[in-house]
Amino acid sequence: MNRPIAAIFDIDGTIFRDSLLLKHMEKCVSYDVFPNSVNAEIKFHKNAWENRELDYDDYLYIAATLYTKYIADKDVLDIDFVAKKVIEKESKKLYRYTRDRIKWHKEQGHQIIFISGSPDFLVSKMADKLGADIWYATNYLQLDNKYTGEVIPMWDSTSKLQVLKNLFIDFEKSYAYGDTTGDFTMLQSVGFPTAINPNKKLLDKITKEKLDCKIIIERKDVIYKLDEVKHGIY
């Protein structure tokens, strides 16, 4: 039996021009599901990121830790209600390059796979919206219709590698798209990797490992393709 060709996508920063988790956390505060104190707790780290004094991966990890703390004991239906509102409002805020690549891969008959560190109840809705065939995400555990505050993460390379090992696809003919070091194992595993607006850590990793990876930068209404990575990166 021939293995299918797949296109594997990260979501946050690769397809979606933000973070689903961050948007959901903001909305949970707006809808009084999370307390207003969440904004105060994340503000210092958010400012540090915006001032480029904190790495984005580190900022997201801090935000995810805070999010996990506040989702504990929250009603599943309340969280899902806010998740639907987030997807309704945010699902069109996509990078043009990856949006068009999803369309192209569908036209080629390729399997569309999302692997994301965002919560499962958000990723599932985004996957439905964009027509993904399979999705994997961070699993937020439930008990008696409430979240326990425990998670099975999908935001690091190791977790994603375990998913990749179980995929029945033709890796040499498949594609992958990501933007951070958490996506490196995805990029390394396929024949046609593409880094979308990669952070410096990912660029360093690509250079160090000598990975033959396409680099795409989308800025405003212009899409740039870098033929090679030189360290004019500051």
Sign of CA dihedral 163, 210, 57, 114: negative
214-226 pLDDT tens trace: 999 999 888 998 8
33-87 pLDDT tens trace: 999 999 999 999 999 999 989 988 889 999 999 999 999 999 999 999 999 999 9
* Mean pLDDT within 28-37: 96
Q: Residue 232 pLDDT more than 80?
A: no
Domains in the chain, CATH or no CATH each: 6-226 (3.40.50.1000)
Largest Cα span, the chain: 55
The percent of residues in the chain predicted with pLDDT above 70, rounded, is: 97
Q: What's the Cα-to-Cα distance from 64 to each of 22, 104, 167, 195, rounded to whole Å? A: 8, 32, 27, 23
Residue 108 C-alpha from the chain's centroid: 24
Query: Which long-range contacts link 38-44 to residues 24+ away (Cβ below 8 Å)?
Result: 38/66, 38/70, 41/66, 42/66
pLDDT of res. 155: 81
Cα–Cα dist 124/159, whole Å: 18
Note whether 133 and 112 are within 8 A (CB). yes
* pTM summary value: 0.92
| DSSP-assigned beta bridge partners for residue 196 | 216
pLDDT of res. 86: 97
Which two three-digit tokens encode residue 19?
A: 């973070």
Mean pLDDT score of the chain, rounded to an integer?
93
Cα–Cα dist 22/113, whole Å: 22
pLDDT of res. 194: 97
- Band of pLDDT at residue 230, cut at 50, 70 and 90: low
| DSSP-assigned beta bridge partners for residue 223 | 218
pLDDT of res. 55: 86
115-144 pLDDT tens trace: 999 999 999 999 999 999 999 999 999 999
Which two three-digit tokens encode residue 124?
A: 């599932």
Cα–Cα dist 139/125, whole Å: 14
